[in-house]
């Protein structure tokens, strides 16, 4: 099971899904039942279900699941599960979610989890800086 999750994460990282802004987002109607089911799945003892739910929450950017994901990032024994939670939080991108990822860089006991959280946070900063530069260019153009 650990090997399969590790391969999944390495594949995700290798194909560049860290750049969440580059992914086209289709408009999908997400029902409250879907949200509830995904959040409930985070409480499962089945790591496959739990990680799948965390991943989908990140893909759908469900900000109301930030707190349960933060709990997983802080308390889960499985490194793989903490990594999925960090990735989901990065993709959600709210200030509280990003802060949790940043804190894990310093405080997670696993060097692997800390390094991946550092990668997620670094990518977030890069995208944020790029967006600020674009906004600055737009303002300069408008003022001409």
- pLDDT recorded at residue 110: 97
**CATH number of the domain at 2-22+30-143, please?**
1.25.10.10
List the chain residues with pLDDT less than 70.
Answer: 1-26, 28, 137, 139-144
81-123: pLDDT as tens digits: 999 999 999 999 999 999 999 999 999 999 999 999 999 999 9
Question: How many Å apart are CA 103 and CA 100, to the nearest integer?
Answer: 5
Could you state, in order of their start, the residue ranges of all structural domains in the chain?
A: 2-22+30-143
- pLDDT recorded at residue 15: 47
Cα distance between the two ends of the chain: 59
């Amino acid at each position: 099971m650990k090997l399969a999750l590790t391969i999944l994460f390495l594949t995700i990282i290798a194909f560049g899904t860290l750049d969440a802004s580059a992914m086209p987002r289709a408009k999908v109607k997400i029902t409250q039942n879907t949200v509830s089911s995904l959040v409930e799945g985070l409480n499962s003892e089945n790591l496959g279900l739990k990680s799948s739910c965390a991943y989908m929450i990140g893909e759908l950017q469900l900000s109301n699941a930030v707190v349960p994901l933060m709990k997983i990032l802080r308390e889960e024994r499985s490194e793989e599960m903490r990594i999925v939670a960090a990735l989901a939080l990065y993709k959600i991108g709210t200030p509280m979610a990003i802060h949790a990822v940043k804190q894990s860089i310093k405080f997670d006991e696993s060097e692997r989890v800390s390094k991946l959280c550092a990668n997620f946070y670094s990518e977030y900063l890069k995208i944020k800086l790029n967006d600020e530069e674009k906004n600055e260019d737009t303002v300069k153009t408008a003022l001409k």
